[in-house]
């Protein structure tokens, strides 16, 4: 029995999504075909599009399906940059603690496409410095192609005041990565006023391999994928109808149950923090716990090695995560935590537990039963 505390990495698929997926898998047809078989599949996916539009409060035509959150981020960031670059707007404003799926496309544009990147600092609680942002917007006024700042952070859970950021941005397009927020906290694309937002199915009880870029209507951006012209030429590629209908089922389920699940998850999170504190007295929690996602908690265990902690917890059937792993699979100090002001040693002694409403107090008790031994072993192994 695995105690799974890594829901920020991926979530179990909910029943309605599994059912929708299975039923759709049996249906034959390419949604772009003109005949009745194709049109029938097309109807299912357009139904799904409307459901997702309702879930995030946008127009159906603003939903562009992609294969991953990473793809949606790339599409938004590169698309908006190239659009701005046409008018000589080459500045990208972002934060110092974005996910790699935002940081890396921005970095690539800087290295290869002449983008000038301005990265706004975050504070120890994981909030953007709005004064610094205001100054940056003022300084680069007519040269900004886009601003990309994540709605909530995947390592520490802090939720940004995106509506305020949109106000500060003025006419500048704002993109926000909502992958961890969608289905968990209140999220209205319309009310936020952003130009673009990214959401992903497998973070919210849907299947892997399908996500969406919500892009303000009327906006034409350069696609990354050229081909059959699906999604008004913005994203070519045969529609993944089974994935899309399952995504919609999961999204609807998440938003409908959001309030009660939020209460339960926050209770579990408090239980987890208290349980760990009881057993390991010198730990601390990173990031604000008020303006935060319900389930994510980043905990630093001083003088340990998080790789060792993870290995030992894994052996006990407890799954959690350390900061970012690079493509070689080697743990690197988390740039998120470094941006928030932790030392390198502190970042490599930090674990992320991300809970969902499917977790139980028994699982937390299991963690409580082993955590002091695990921490002691890790500290012992670090004595050199």
Among 72, 136, 312, 336, binds another protein (CB under 8 A): 312
Decide: 56 and 179 in contact? Cβ < 8 Å. no
* Residue 316 in the binding site for another protein (CB under 8 A): no
Q: Which of 2, 25, 315, 365 lies at the binding interface for another protein (CB under 8 A)?
A: 315
**39 touches another protein by CB under 8 A:** no
Q: What is the chain's Cα-based Rg?
A: 21
| Total number of residues shown for the chain | 384
- Closest approach, Cβ 366 to another protein, in A, equals 18
* DSSP-assigned states of every residue in 65-78: EES-HHHHHHHHHH
Would you count residue 328 as binding another protein (CB under 8 A)?
yes
Q: Does 326 qualify as catalytic in the annotation? A: yes
Contact between residue 22 and residue 245 where contact means Cβ atoms under 8 Å apart: no
Nearer to another protein, 135 or 307 (CB): 307
Q: Single out the segment in contact with another protein by CB under 8 A; choices: 84-92, 243-251, 263-271, 307-315.
A: 307-315
**Closest among 239, 257, 324 to 294, alpha carbons compared:** 257
Is 307 a residue that touches another protein (CB under 8 A)? yes
Among 37, 54, 224, 311, binds another protein (CB under 8 A): 311
Residues 340-379 interacting with another protein (rule: CB under 8 A)? 377-378
**Residue spans of alpha helices (H) in 141-232:** 162-169, 189-192
- Residue bearing tokens 């047809």: 29
Find the angle CA(182)-CA(185)-CA(191) to the nearest 5 degrees.
Answer: 80
CB nearer to another protein: give 78 or 335: 335
Q: Are 196 and 214 in contact (CB under 8 A)?
A: yes
Q: 193 vs 302, which CB is nearer to another protein? A: 302
**Least distance to another protein, CB of residue 345, Å:** 14
Binding segment for another protein (CB under 8 A), chosen from 62-70, 176-184, 208-216, 308-316, is 308-316
Q: Are the beta carbons of 155 and 336 closer than 8 angstroms?
A: yes
Residue 308, interface with another protein (CB under 8 A)? yes
Residues 6+ apart with CB under 8 A from 108: none
Q: Which residues would be at the binding site for another protein (CB under 8 A)?
A: 307-308, 311-312, 314-315, 327-331, 377-378, 380-384
The catalytic residues are 326
């Amino acid at each position: 029995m695995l105690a799974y505390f890594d829901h920020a990495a991926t979530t179990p698929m909910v029943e309605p999504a599994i059912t929708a997926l299975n039923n759709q898998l049996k249906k034959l047809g390419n949604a772009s075909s003109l005949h009745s078989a194709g049109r029938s599949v097309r109807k299912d996916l357009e139904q799904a599009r409307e459901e997702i539009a309702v879930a995030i409060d946008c127009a159906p035509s603003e939903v562009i399906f992609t294969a991953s959150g990473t793809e949606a981020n790339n599409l938004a960031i590169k698309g908006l940059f190239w659009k701005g670059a046409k008018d000589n707007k080459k500045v990208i404003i972002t934060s110092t603690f974005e996910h790699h799926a935002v940081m890396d496309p921005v970095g690539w544009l800087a290295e290869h496409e002449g983008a000038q990147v301005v990265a706004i600092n975050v504070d120890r609680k994981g909030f953007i410095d709005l004064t610094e942002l205001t100054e940056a917007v003022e300084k680069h006024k007519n040269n900004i192609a886009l601003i990309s700042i994540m709605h909530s952070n995947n390592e520490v859970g802090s939720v940004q005041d995106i509506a305020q950021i949109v106000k500060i941005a003025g006419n500048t397009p704002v993109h926000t990565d909502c992958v961890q927020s969608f289905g968990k906290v209140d999220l209205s694309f319309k009310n936020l006023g952003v130009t673009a937002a990214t959401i992903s199915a497998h973070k919210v009880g849907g299947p892997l391999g399908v996500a969406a870029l919500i892009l303000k209507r009327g906006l034409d951006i350069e696609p990354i994928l050229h081909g059959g012209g699906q999604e008004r030429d913005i994203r070519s590629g045969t529609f993944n109808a089974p994935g899309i209908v399952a995504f919609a089922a999961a999204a609807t389920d998440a938003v409908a149950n959001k309030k009660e699940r939020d209460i339960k998850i926050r209770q579990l999170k408090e239980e987890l923090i208290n349980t760990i504190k009881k057993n390991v007295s010198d730990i601390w929690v990173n990031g604000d716990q008020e303006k935060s996602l319900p389930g994510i908690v980043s905990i630093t265990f001083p003088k340990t090695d998080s790789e060792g902690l993870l290995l030992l917890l894994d052996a006990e059937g407890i799954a959690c995560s350390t900061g970012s792993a690079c493509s070689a699979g080697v743990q690197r100090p988390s740039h998120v935590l470094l941006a928030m002001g932790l030392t390198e040693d502190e970042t490599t002694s930090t674990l992320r537990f991300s809970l969902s409403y499917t977790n139980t107090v028994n699982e937390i008790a299991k963690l409580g039963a082993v955590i002091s031994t695990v921490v002691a072993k890790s500290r012992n192994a670090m004595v050199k």
